A and B are shown apart, each in its own frame.
Chain A
Amino acid sequence: MTSTHPTLVGHIGAVSGAGVSVRQSPTVDSGVAIIGGRSYRIGQVGSFVRIPQGYQNLYGIISEIGAKAIPEPLRETVNRGERWMTVQLVGEIIGASFERGVSQYPNVQDEVHLVTEEDLAQIYGSDALGQVTIGRLANAEGIPVKIDLDKLITRHCAVIGSTGSGKSTAVSSLLRSIASGSADEGGPGFPSARILLLDIHGEYGTALQEVSKTFRVNPNPGEERLDIPYWALDPTELFAFLFGRLDDRALSMILDQVLDRKVQYARTKKPQGIDVASLTVDSPLPYSLKQLWLDLIDPEVKTWDDKDRQVPALIEAGDAAQLKMPKYKLHSTNNTAPYANHIGVLGIRRQLDQMRSRMLDKEYDFLLHPGKWEPELDGSATLDISHLLASWLGHDKPLTVLDLSGIPSSVQSRLIGAILRIVYDALFWGRLKPEGGIRRPVLVVMEEAHRYLSGDAEGSARAMVQRIVKEGRKFGMGAMIVSQRPTEIDETILSQCGTFVALRLSNSSDRSKVQAALPDSLAGVVESLPILRTGEAIVLGEAARLPIRCRIALPSEKYRPSSADPEVAKNWSAKRDKEDYENLAATWRSQNPRWTSK
C-alpha cells in the first residue's frame, strides 16, 4: 500500500487557487523521516513537497503549519489531533525538467510526499551552459544551487541584507564563481566575463585579487592608479562641483568657452569620429582646466590705465600652469585711473577662487590632475579616452575593481555618475563593435547603492542607473545593486531588478521591498528573512527557478572581503602594542590608510 511509503507526509484536504491544505499523515507524527539513510525533518516552513499526479509531479513550498493552516470549516476538529499545513504550488516536473507554474491542480486526498535530495537535484541541478553555482541549499547542503547567468545580468539584480549579514562575502563569492568557477565545485567559470565593481569601502581588492585588476587613488603595489579625467565628465556636473552655485548666464558663458576649446582641439588634432559641426560641450574631448581658469579670472580682476580701457594696468601677468592670478593695479573708486574692467565680466570671482583651491587640493588629483590624461595648456593630452576605456574594460582579467575609498565622500556620488556615464556612453554607441556590450556584455556592481541611488542623492548617478536598468539589456549592460537599505533606493531602479539575493534583513520596511517583487502566494518565504543565518540568502526572481534558500559558498579565508567585524572582546582583552599617535595623525593627513613613515 502506498500510504506506507516512507516519503509520504500527508493527504490533500482542500485546494484553493495556488494554495493547498494538507492533512499530515499520522505516520509522520514523530517529525522525522529516514529515507535512504538520510534523516529529513518533516514540515519545515520553506521546504518543498512533491504531489505526484501520474506522469507529472507538482511541487510546492510549505508556507504555514499548525492551527492557521487548518481550513476554516474544519477549525472545530482540531481537537481530534489532526495536523495541517498550507502548501503553495510553485511548479511541476513533466518528464525530466522543472518548470514554473502548474498545468493541473491536484485533487482532494492526493498524496503529498517529502522531497528527497534526488528530487531537489532534479529541480536545481541543471547542467546547461550559463548556470552559475552560488552556494548550496540551506536544508540539503549536498545540493549545489545554480542560477541562470544570462537572466541574472540582462535582467539586473539586487543583493540586499542588513549590515553583517554577509553581503560583501556573498558578492565576492558570486563574482568569483562567475569569473573562475565555484569555490567548491571547480568548473571553468567565465574567463571572458567583464565585470566592473564600484568598491566604495575598498573591501574587494584583496578578496578578488587574482581574478581582478584594481584601480585605486593611492595604489598599492600591483594596483593601478585610478584616474578619472575631468574632461570626460558632463561639464555642467563638473562645474557644479568646482564652482558651487553659479547663475545661469555665467554658466552658459563658461560652457561656451569650453565648447570653443573642444572645437579648437577637434580642428587641430582631428580625432577620429568627431564631426566639428555636430560637436557638443558634452563630447569627451580634452581641454585645459588651468588655462580655462586663467582666462576666466582675468576679466574679473582686470583694471585699465586709461578711460577708454585700452591700456591694461598690469603689474604682473598670470601663469596658468602655476595657477597664479594676474596682478593689476587696484582700481580707484572715484572715477579716476586705474579703471575697473567691464568687459566680459561674469561676476564669478568667488567661484573661481573655489575652483583654484579645488585644483590645488591633493584629494582631487585623480580628477583634476589625472596623470597622463591631464591636458597641456593648449589642450592636448598624452592619453585619450580610448586608453581609459581599454584600461578599465579591456584588460586580461574578468573583473575590474574601481576602489573609490580614497575619494572624498562629498564628490563620490557625482563621480560614480561620471564613471557610469563614461562606460554607458561608450558601450551604448559602441554596441555593435567587438569591444561593445553586445559581444562582450558588462556587469556593473554597485556597492552601498543607497548612498548615491536614493531619491535625493545629488549628481547624475541615479539617472544613469535608471537608464542602465531600463535600457541596458539591449546593448549588454547589466547592473547589480548592493545595499543594506533597499527602502532608500530609488523605486524605479529597484523595481527593474529581476533577481533578488536577499540576505538577512531585520528592518520590516526593507523586507517589504523584497516581498513586493514576489507573487503573493510565495510571500511566506520572505517572512523568514529576519531569521536567516549569516551567509544564508533567499534567491528569487528571474535567474532562479524557484525562490531558493541557500548558503552562499564561503570563499577561503584569504579571499574574503576585508569588511569583517573587528573582534572587540578579543582586542579589548589583549595586551596593547606600542602605540604612536603621531603615526595615526600622519596617516590621517596623508589620507592613505597604508601610509608609513619613510
Chain B
Amino acid sequence: MERQAVSSSNIVAVGYDEDLQLLEVEFLNGSVYQYMNVPSVVYTQLIEASSAGQFFNTHVKNAYPTQRV
C-alpha cells in the first residue's frame, strides 16, 4: 500500500485502501499498524487535519480494530 506523508509529531505517513477499507499508519518509531473497517471519509479527514496526530488519537486509535503489520 502506498503511504502518504503527514505532518505530525508521532505519525510519519498514512495509506488507505478504499476497497478493503483498510487504513495503514506508520509511526515515528518505525512500527506500522493497520486499522480495519475505516470509512474513506475518516481517512480524508485524517490527511486534511491540521494535526494528523491529534485527529488520529481522538477518532481512530481506539475506535477501529487494529493489527500490527
Name A residues whose Cβ lies closer than 8 Å to a Cβ of B: 244-247, 300, 331-335, 339-342, 345-350
Contact = CB atoms under 8 A, between A and B. Distances in A.
Chain B residues touching A, majority SS = loop
A147 B62 CA distance: 73
A350 B59 contact: no
A339 B34 CA distance: 18
B63 A347 contact: no
A245 B59 CA distance: 26
A349 to B, nearest CB: 4
Nearest to A342: B65
Interface of B: 19-22, 34, 36-37, 58-66
A346 B63 contact: no
A244 B20 CA distance: 10
A245 B20 contact: yes
B25 to A, nearest CB: 14
A339 B62 CA distance: 8
Contact of B19 (A244, A341, A342, A346): A244
B44 to A, nearest CB: 16
B37 A345 contact: yes
Given A245-B19, A245-B20, A349-B21, A341 B59 contact: no
21 contacts: A244-B19, A245-B19, A245-B20, A247-B20, A247-B22, A300-B37, A331-B62, A331-B63, A332-B62, A333-B60, A333-B63, A339-B62, A340-B62, A340-B64, A342-B65, A345-B37, A347-B20, A348-B37, A349-B36, A349-B37, A350-B21
Contacts of B37: 300, 345, 347-350
Nearest to A344: B65
A5 to B, nearest CB: 79
A48 B49 CA distance: 84
A333 to B, nearest CB: 5
Contacts of A246: 20
Contacts of A245: 19-20
Contacts of B19: 244-245, 350
A335 B62 CA distance: 6
B59 to A, nearest CB: 5
Contacts of A244: 19
Nearest to A343: B65
Given A345-B36, A345-B37, A347-B37, A340 B22 contact: no
A586 B22 CA distance: 41
A334 B34 CA distance: 19
Given A244-B19, A245-B19, A347 B62 contact: no
A248 to B, nearest CB: 11
A347 B21 contact: yes
Contacts of A348: 37
A334 B22 contact: no
Contacts of A335: 61-62
B36 A347 contact: yes
Given A332-B62, A341-B65, 8 more contacts: A247-B20, A332-B63, A340-B62, A342-B66, A345-B65, A347-B20, A347-B22, A349-B36
A334 B62 contact: yes
Nearest to B22: A347
A244 B62 CA distance: 28
A244 B18 CA distance: 12
B58 A334 contact: yes
A345 B21 CA distance: 13
Given A345-B36, A345-B37, A347-B36, A333 B20 contact: no
B13 to A, nearest CB: 20
Nearest to B59: A333
A333 B65 contact: no
Contacts of B21: 347, 349-350
